[in-house]
Amino acid sequence: MTRQGGRKEEEVRRMLDAPHPLVPGDLHLRAAHRGARLRRRRRALHRVGCALLLAAAIAFAVWAAAAEPWVVPPSTTTPEVEGW
């Protein structure tokens, strides 16, 4: 019975037997600083998005109060009936 994927298995074994690359000593500090920077950026973008959404809602409310789009406009196609 032959093994399937013998070539790939041998390649993986060679990779695992090779010496591992050295990891910089300050890697965890750099990762923490990068994570904090990304978190601050995400938080700032979230706040800006919420502020824009709030401004759009206020602008819509002001426009709706001024224009009153729910009121039916007066009819101009037929004259008013008087004297019935």
* Tens of pLDDT, residues 2-42: 556 689 999 999 988 988 889 999 999 999 999 999 999 99
Q: What percent of the chain has pLDDT over 90?
A: 57
Dist CA 40 CA 75 (whole Å): 56
* 73: its two tokens: 């406009």
In single-letter form, the type of residue at position 83 comes to G
CB 42 within 8 A of CB 34: no
Give this prediction's pTM.
0.59
Dist CA 7 CA 75 (whole Å): 83
| Domain-wise residue ranges, the chain | 29-58
